[in-house]
Amino acid sequence: LTPHNLTLASYPIQLPRGEDKSIHSIGACSQKGAQWIFPTFHPPSLDHHFEGNVFRKKPVFEQRWELALGIDGGGKTGHCPVDADPYLPWIHDSFPSNDGKYVEFIIGNKRRCNTDPKTFKVDLQNLEPQVALMQPIPVKRWKEGMTVDSSMQSLWQRENDNYHIPRKEKPILLDDGNFNPPRYLIATSLDDADEDGKYTRYICRFHSVVLATHKDNIEGESRLLKRAILGETLSNYPYNPEHANFRKRGSNPMVTPLEKGHDEQIWNNIHQIRCPVPEKINESEKDSLIGAIASGRTVLDGVPSIYVDLIPIRTPARIDKEGYGIPGVKSSPFKPNEEWGDSHVLPLVEACGRWSNI
């Protein structure tokens, strides 16, 4: 996903005043007037290949890679990669808060779209990670003196600076070699987690792009774009979806066995997460990134200059209603030591599937 193709997903349709709404009853995602912003659906022109986005008759699973990468390599771009990588959040909207302190994300639960287990069993199984994204986990940053299992050591450093997949073509974007990102571990208790990582699910990496000089032995000196990393933060939830589900009278676990029928708890349709904006670009107060975003100075002629990458932390969905870390719940069948272990080091951001350049 690049800034230039953030044009492929739907918002609710805006009908002209007085127009008959009944002609649009099959859903805004397949009708004229929709504004395509995030890649949540394929465009209506591909309905003949993928079926419509709503009222489907067969699972998406067999076509998930065509949706993500394009049809038959025929030059068509991909559209929705969530079925191919169900740990990617199904983002429907994002925007900065008025005070510039957060980037807010409105996220749908794609597992709630086609819910008949008789028809869509394979999709429902594939999309279980969509529920995991609604369940917070505790995370801590590695600090000097912490010990990890020796088998984890290879995860700590890149073998060399050229850690990208080899490319035949000349690169057009260089990574920031000056940024030394923190390393993260999944904590096994809330007390062991960092204060801002007690209830998280994503690493948020903020960056901009600058023009830089690049030298190599073949083409000599050239001018290329360089990604300037502005900082990383851990996401949080304005409210805990797992806690809300627990408090609903008569609710079931967020993931229920398909033999018992699919969970019809409509309140698990959608949720919200937020990425805290790094406080400063440097020590100078005038270079406050929060202030720049709040003032709107980071958007010039409709083009943003600050981007965020959203990196999901991947753990299986919890299948118990009591969840983990819910206030007031004295005991839960979930055992973090057994599920995560005490040395669960998260991979480098560059090695993770993620949304980029939002």
88 with 38: CB under 8 angstroms? no
Query: How does pLDDT run across 183-232, given as a tens digit for each residue?
Result: 999 999 999 999 999 999 999 999 998 777 766 656 667 777 778 899 99
Mean pLDDT of 238-260: 89
Comparison of pLDDT for 221 and 31, the residue scoring more: 221
Polymer length in residues for the chain = 358
DSSP 214-233: EEETTTEEEEEEEEEEEEEE
Residue 35: pLDDT band by 50, 70, 90 thresholds? very low
Average pLDDT, the chain: 79
Residue 280 CA to residue 233 CA, distance in Å, equals: 12
Please list the alpha-helical segments (H only) found in the chain: 47-50, 64-69, 117-126, 129-132, 241-247, 289-295, 336-340
Neighbours of 338 (CB within 10 A): 8
Query: How does pLDDT run across 83-100, given as a tens digit for each residue?
Result: 999 999 999 999 999 999
124 with 111: CB under 8 angstroms? yes
The distance of Cα 45 from the centroid of its chain, to the nearest Å, equals 26
Cβ partners under 8 Å of residue 166, min gap 6: none
E strands present in the chain: 90-96, 102-108, 139-141, 173-174, 184-186, 202-216, 220-234, 270-276, 299-300, 303-304, 307-312
Residue with tokens 């028809």: 119
325 with 198: CB under 8 angstroms? yes
Residue 39 CA to residue 324 CA, distance in Å, equals: 31
From 86, 161, 82, 134, select the one nearest 273 (Cα to Cα). Answer: 134
Mean pLDDT of 305-331: 93
Neighbours of 154 (CB within 10 A): 9
